[in-house]
Amino acid sequence: MAAIRVAVLVLLGLCLGGAAAAIPLVIWHGMGDSCCNPQSMGYIKKIVENKIPGIYVLSLKIGSNLIQDMENSFFMNVNDQVREVCSQLAKDPHLKGGYNAMGFSQGGQFLRAVAQRCPSPPMLNLISVGGQHQGSVYGFPRCPGESSHICDWIRKTLDLGAYTQAVQEHLVQAEYWHDPLKEEDYRKNSIFLADINQERGINETYKKNLMALKKFVMVKFLNDTMVDPPISEWFGFYKSGQAKETIPLKESSLYLEDRLGLQEMDKAGKLVFLGVKGDHLHFSEEWFYSTILPFLQ
């Protein structure tokens, strides 16, 4: 009888333990933001923790303090940022069994680079909230936070030479600057986006690692005034050579040639395209709970 009681207690413990083992979440903020802003990433972290008891949420900080984290979102080479994040994730014991990832604005494509370049620990689901996966172009109609003077300088710098080596090495937004009127310059000189989008050749490891995702969720803001063109949030972009007509992902060479495995992922039901009314990164708590939370559980 005692043995039966022990067996029941062990089974009960296993069941309870399984129920409490929420998949960890890694989040990466956007331009001009920081890991722990109580009105943005701190808020997201809090509401996720409230809805999924026991979940471990890592909000990525690039630098030793919040000021550095914000400044690095403008001025630290993205490839260096991705290497730093890969190191952070590999050293975090909470993530060794795998994790979900959620990136906001430029954090969306940065986390995609993590998925492609750093498969250990494994990223399970990637949620890109307003990420510019085919890049952005033509300035910043609005500027985040209190960074208007920085954005004014960035606009002038990008206009002068987005694809020069010095600008590419030291200005984050230049590294995903995609000018449809200068496609050859972009393919040749973009040190970040052209690489992760396989514009200069096929890295089979990138393709294999991205295809290992269970779901790749892309959120587009239907009234976006910051990302140009907004369809980049769904992997679409301008037709080459002009900046008026756009084409969706499925008509792009990236998809048709399946350079990243997106066509195969699409056929397997791994790509999820979500639209939400509102401007860039404007969404309600109710929408987040009903639409995004299910991918984290």
Helices then strands, counting H and E runs in the chain, come out as: 13, 8
Taking the CA atoms of residue 274, residue 117, residue 187 and residue 105 in that order, the dihedral angle to the nearest 10 degrees is 40
What is d(CA 231, CA 246) in angstroms, rounded to the nearest whole number? 8
Catalytic hit among 29, 133, 178, 280: 280
Cβ distance 247 to 239 under 8 Å? yes
Q: What b/e string do you get for 233-242 counting C-beta neighbours within 10 Å, with b at 16 or more?
A: bbbbbbeeee
Separation between Cα atoms, residue 173 and residue 88, nearest integer Å: 23
**228 classed as catalytic:** no
Which of the following is catalytic: 224, 228, 232, 258? 224
Q: Which residues of 248-268 are buried (b: 16+ CB within 10 A; e: fewer)?
A: ebeebebbeebbbbbbebbee
Judge whether 74 and 175 are in contact, CB under 8 Å.
no
> Looking at 40, 59, 105, 128, which residue is catalytic?
105
Cis bond upstream, residue 121 (ω within 30): yes
Phi-psi region of 142 (alpha: psi -120 to 50; beta: other; left: phi over 0): beta
Q: Is 105 a catalytic residue?
A: yes
State the burial class of residue 110 (Cβ atoms within 10 Å of its Cβ: 0-12, 13-18, 19+). Answer: buried
Active site residue 224: yes
- Name the region of 160 (left: φ>0; alpha: ψ -120 to 50; beta: rest): alpha
Active site residues: 105, 224, 280
